[in-house]
Structure 1
């Protein structure tokens, strides 16, 4: 019994240390938001399911910058027109340290983060309305490390598109669920060698 308790304490301690190690300078983040619920702030808002692959590099401890691609198809009801959204651009993340600014982690093997993005994007609906221009967003999220290198993530984000077309501004609040793989640079080099 003592061995089992000791193993459990070591596992929790190891996962906590790993959560800190994975977001250090020089590491890579590769992942995707897979499920997105869209609560529209404009007329016609509803539900949206899409995919947003993303990759980032930790330029400092707790700070990652990278890029994203956003693709989604939305159909609110059977009678509503189909909507297609797209975007590409840069993103940044800042991971909060435990205890920083009064924020403590609810779970010991996860981290809170703030994410922002800016890029080019658009929205096209079958009925003819569209927007193409600046794609931007920001919001808080939480990454729960289910293994030392894989985080299951939830993110609440304000998303907006401003530009040209029949709609000047389109915005909404989304709740996203996805995953990210955190790789030290040495592991990323091993993967690149294996691919060759």
Structure 2
């Protein structure tokens, strides 16, 4: 019992004293969001875990690799790639396949808990506001399509496990405006992900290893 208490104390101590030097100008952020979920239209499988705002229902799974560069200690800009797949039953009990893609610019602004008067209550993480915009498409096999301008925005939280790795959760509104059979698609996405933070020297060393 004493060993368990000691281990727990060391874990808490280690977490509360994690350095947040990874959030520095000149550093890189690499990672991905991944998830599955429900959307209320078979063409609405935007990205991550989605609760669609259109009619009908569907299920989707997607992954969104992302990369960014810290232009300041709190602002990251980069790019995100969206890849998704939805399989659901159509009106005649036939399988309906939906494919999602996208390439978009990414922006993220970090806010430390102390900056919003939470003190040290959440010492191991940072809140952030993320937004993205670019091209994307939701294409249903032998069905309606929407291809055009995609955008999204919403808050999230990064829980740092150590100096380099953070687990993340975010809630984002996603919209897609374009041509095709359907002019507008939108959803509310719950995204889970992991990010790795590296300095320029660490990123270069990692690249050389590959």
TM bucket (normalised to shorter chain) is 0.7 to 0.9
Task: Report if the CA contact (8 A) 1:48-1:72 is conserved.
Answer: yes
Q: Do structure 1's residue 70 and structure 2's residue 79 form an aligned pair?
A: no
SS of the counterpart of 1:11?
helix
Q: Do structure 1's residue 37 and structure 2's residue 40 form an aligned pair?
A: no
Query: Where does structure 1 lack aligned partners over 5 or more consecutive residues?
Result: none
Q: Deviations over 1:66-103 (max 9, x none)?
A: 00110000124474511111100100000112232446
Task: Report if the CA contact (8 A) 1:39-1:46 is conserved.
Answer: no
Spell out the pairing of 1:146-165 with structure 2 (5 A cutoff). 146-165=161-180
The alpha carbon displacement at 1:43 in A equals 1.5
40 and 13 in structure 1: CA distance in 2 versus 1, 3 angstrom threshold = closer
Task: Report if the CA contact (8 A) 1:38-1:46 is conserved.
Answer: no
Q: Deviations over 1:11-31 (max 9, x none)?
A: 23431xx2x211111110000
Moved more, 48-57 or 105-114: 105-114
SS of the counterpart of 2:58?
coil
Query: Where does structure 2 lack aligned partners over 5 or more consecutive residues?
Result: 36-47
Q: Take 1:24 and 1:181, find their aligned partners in 2: how far apart are those partners?
A: 13
104 and 53 in structure 1: CA distance in 2 versus 1, 3 angstrom threshold = farther
Moved more, 36-45 or 104-113: 104-113
Q: Take 2:118 and 2:94, find their aligned partners in 1: how far apart are those partners?
A: 45
76 and 190 in structure 1: CA distance in 2 versus 1, 3 angstrom threshold = same
- Equivalent residues, number: 190
Partner of 2:62: 50
Partner of 1:94: 109
